[in-house]
A and B are shown apart, each in its own frame.
Chain A
Amino acid sequence: MTQSGVKHALIIDEKPKRAETFMTALREYKITCDHRKSIVAINGRGCKKEYLETVSLPPSGILFIHMGPLSGDRAQDPDKDYGNQCSLEWYVENIRTLQSWCVIAYTAGAGSEPEEFKTLKRRGWHRYFRGITGADAFNVGAFVSNWKMAPEEPPPFDLLVNWSDFVAAFRVLVAGFQVANKGGVKSPGGRDVGAAPMELEGAPISWTHQMSWWRPILGHDGKGTQLLDELKSIGALELLSVAEAIVKWLASMPRDESSSPAGKSLTLDEPLVMEILAVKLWLSQ
């Protein structure tokens, strides 16, 4: 696929919410999207003609297609068309054009890929995913931003479903920092809140305490490379800015308590504290 090929996407999915989430993520990367439902409703009839026959395929693009195996009670009635059936038939009919497309086929279930897909798919360019219950199962941002860097290469499918432990860890630390600094946090279960990253009343903080809080994000190389790279790859610019500042601050600190210079501030400066407090976490997801 050429650079221009990462400009179009087609989403075939009967669930508008899931399709809309994919489209929102894709549009952030200036990808135009066309959404078609595969069925009218569960057990609906005539869906294929209504929704899929007018699809016009550019020479290349990204296809998200809800396509489960034809199994279960819903597939037992030969007089009815089902979403899976419509999607699969459409895929087979358009396979020639789709050879130059990236195809992301998915099911919410745990079943294997349909035989037709297994036979016709272009290896490395068409992939089938199971257990995709909601749009949040795909990390569309990481996938697209990485693939756009090398669109002639096969799509980085692994980025679609592999989420960063470092980014999740960083979010937890930021959330903890926010809780500890919003005030009103009482000692839970009688324990000392000294475990929090910053004392609530401005009490002295130990070097060990302050350093240990953020240090895990530095990772194995001690430079925070993995976290920063992953934040860049998913385009989480707000978190990236905060992470870079904290990594820089950690680098300026002595490596152990005994070498800590007298009078050196062990706390983050106020603008950075404010920046961390402003990060939106799970409430915005």
Chain B
Amino acid sequence: MAIAVSNGFRVFETRLAPPLSRDEWLERRARFNHDWLQVSFLTFLQAWHVELDVYGSTADLPVDIRTVLGEWVVRRPVLDLLIRYAEQLLGPGKVLDEFPLNELPYDQRLWLLDEVGKLWREASGFRLLIGDLEATATSVDEVIGNLLADHPCLHAGTRLYAKCQTVSRLLTALPMIRGA
């Protein structure tokens, strides 16, 4: 939940509203994770990871492979967006923003946001999942960055395939608070 923090006081009124709704977040995840990462990019990596291991060790990447890998860089801002607003749109803060809980007194909402947010992050596994997702996405950045820069990168294809599979799995597994 993005809350403006100033002198120890956190206030709903000045918080930064997410630039997308929960439905839009879910649609962007579907387009990124299923329609591109799983259907296209992982399929490519599954077929080419052995060759990528070789290209990584020789630092000699063909142009067509370079183009496909570059798609990760182009689409990375979408993943950033999904990670940045995941808690705000999937967690208790979403419920506290809407009827009927938006009718709660201000101090109770703040208290709930802190305490129930903490409970939900731990109990639902969100905290671990989002941490792993960020770390894994960063490691994909590193491998692809090395390949595109023609820096030697051992087992690049195998690592990339495994890490992208993990990104996909973690994106799918992010919990969402719902009514039932």
Contacts and interface: CB of A to CB of B under 8 A. Distances in A.
B21 interface: no
B43 A73 contact: yes
B19 interface: no
Interface residues of A, number: 58
**Closest 8 A/B residue pairs (Cβ):** A167-B179, A164-B179, A72-B39, A195-B111, A216-B100, A109-B34, A110-B30, A168-B179
B129 interface: no
What bracket does the count of chain B residues touching chain A fall in? Answer: 35 or more
Given A110-B30, A176-B112, A195-B107, A169 B175 contact: no
A284 B6 CA distance: 36
A196 interface: yes
B119 interface: yes
B interface secondary structure, majority: helix
A285 interface: yes
23 contacts: A42-B46, A108-B34, A109-B39, A110-B31, A110-B34, A134-B172, A139-B180, A141-B180, A164-B179, A165-B98, A167-B179, A168-B178, A168-B179, A171-B177, A172-B112, A176-B115, A179-B119, A180-B115, A195-B108, A197-B108, A230-B179, A234-B179, A281-B123
Interface string B81-117: 0000000000010011011110111011011101110
A169 B100 contact: yes
Contacts of B142: none
Contacts of A173: 101, 112
A4 B39 CA distance: 39
Interface string A171-184: 11101101110000
Interface string A126-167: 000011011010010110000000000000000000011111
Interface stretch (A89-97, A186-194, A254-262, A271-279): A186-194
A213 interface: yes
Contact of B110 (A74, A190, A191): A191
A169 B172 contact: no
A167 B180 contact: yes
Given A110-B35, A189-B8, A216-B103, A175 B116 contact: yes
B40 A213 contact: no
